């Protein structure tokens, strides 16, 4: 595949170089948001001339209530049933994806989704998931934040009910950190085709001057990549930072937030920063995370 940017600044309908985004993976399941994820991922793949990879995972373990059944389902029957369900997902994925994308792949595995999604991310430049899972079943469910921090790829999280997203109006939630720098760098292909970009940092008043200098550096960095920032601002904290970012996004008509993902393990469990957790579980705007 080949392609070029006609205008170095980028714009709607333009293509970035094919090498920027060659493949996008999307998690497919039986939840109500699955079709919307496929359609958004297909739109993004079509924009970049990229392949679209459907990913699904389901470990054939014991399901809720089975411990009390008189004649539990045989392992062979369970595997056959779940394999058949995965094939239904594959068919649904292909039917929707091929409406927009020429190259599609399917990767359904009998394993925990929390393991399958990060593993299959090796084949993709971007991973698309939802904030919630189809069930509380431990063999089928996964934590979106855990996938985000284990994938080693930028992850686009679509809120429930989203059926379309252009990524044309972008809010970069800046913080002078490793994660935010990775987020901006990973987002470059998508920023190149955005129409409108806003830079925002939320800090205490005493840090405002330093924050402005940092935003100046980020703006120059983006300009060197042919990306123009329309507006930038330093805001003082007012309650939850994630809520404040969501409010700015709503007021500005933003359809994509770019942010660093902050988290670490403690006693074997992921512990997320407040902003990451707030955007993951409460944002009604699509979020592109990197860590």
In the predicted structure, residue 66 carries a pLDDT above the cut 90: no
Torsion of CA 249, 237, 283, 151, to 10 degrees: 110
In 124-172, which residue ranges form alpha helices assigned H by DSSP? Answer: 144-150
| In the block, residue with structure tokens 């970069």 | 172
In the predicted structure, residue 160 carries a pLDDT above the cut 90: no
In the predicted structure, residue 196 carries a pLDDT above the cut 80: yes
Question: Span 32-42, mean pLDDT?
Answer: 95
Residues for the chain: how many in total?
291
Residue 53: per-residue pLDDT? 98
Question: Span 68-85, mean pLDDT?
Answer: 77
> What Å distances lie between residue 183 and 97, 113, 116, 168, 218, CA to CA?
27, 24, 23, 17, 12
Cα separation, 154 vs 181, in Å, equals 12
Residues of the chain with CATH 3.40.50.620: 23-157, 169-290
Of the listed ranges 5-14, 28-37, 130-139, the least confidently predicted one is 5-14
Query: How does pLDDT run across 95-107, given as a tens digit for each residue?
Result: 999 999 999 999 9
Residue 64: per-residue pLDDT? 45
CATH architecture for residues 23-157: 3-Layer(aba) Sandwich (3.40)
Q: What share of the chain is helix, strand, coil (3-state, %, to 5)?
A: 40, 20, 40
Residue 18: per-residue pLDDT? 38
In the predicted structure, residue 164 carries a pLDDT above the cut 60: yes
Share of the chain above pLDDT 90, in %: 68
In this structure, what token pair is assigned to residue 13? 């309908």
Angle at 149 (CA atoms; ends 22, 31), nearest 5 degrees: 75
Residue 37: per-residue pLDDT? 96
CATH code of the region 169-290 = 3.40.50.620
Residue 272: per-residue pLDDT? 60
Q: Which helix (H) or strand (E) segment is 100 a member of?
A: none
């Amino acid at each position: 595949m080949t392609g070029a940017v006609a205008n170095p600044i980028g714009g709607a309908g333009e293509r970035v170089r094919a090498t920027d985004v060659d493949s996008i993976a999307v998690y497919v399941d039986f939840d109500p948001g699955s079709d919307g994820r496929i359609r958004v991922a297909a739109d993004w793949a079509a924009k970049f001339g990229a392949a679209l990879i459907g990913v699904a995972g389901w470990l054939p373990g014991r399901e809720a209530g089975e411990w009390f059944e008189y004649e539990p389902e045989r392992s062979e029957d369970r595997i056959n049933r779940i394999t058949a369900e995965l094939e239904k997902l594959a068919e649904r994925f292909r039917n929707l994806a091929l409406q927009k994308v020429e190259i599609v792949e399917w990767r359904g595995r009998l394993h925990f989704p929390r393991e399958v999604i990060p593993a299959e991310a090796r084949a993709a430049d971007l991973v698309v998931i939802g904030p919630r899972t189809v069930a509380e079943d431990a063999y089928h469910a996964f934590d979106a934040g855990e996938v985000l921090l284990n994938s080693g790829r930028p992850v686009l999280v679509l809120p429930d009910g989203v059926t379309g997203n252009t990524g044309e109006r972008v809010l970069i939630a800046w913080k002078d950190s490793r994660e935010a720098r990775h987020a901006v760098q990973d987002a470059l292909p998508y920023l190149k085709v955005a129409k409108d970009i806003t830079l925002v940092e939320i800090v205490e008043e005493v840090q405002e001057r330093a924050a402005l200098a940092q935003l100046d550096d980020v703006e120059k960095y983006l300009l060197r990549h042919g990306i123009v920032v329309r507006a930038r601002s330093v805001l003082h904290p007012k309650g939850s930072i994630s809520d404040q970012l969501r409010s700015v996004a709503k007021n500005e008509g933003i359809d994509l937030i770019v942010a660093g993902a902050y988290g670490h393990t403690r006693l074997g469990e992921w512990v997320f920063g407040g902003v990451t957790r707030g955007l993951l579980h409460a944002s009604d705007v699509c979020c592109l995370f990197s860590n």
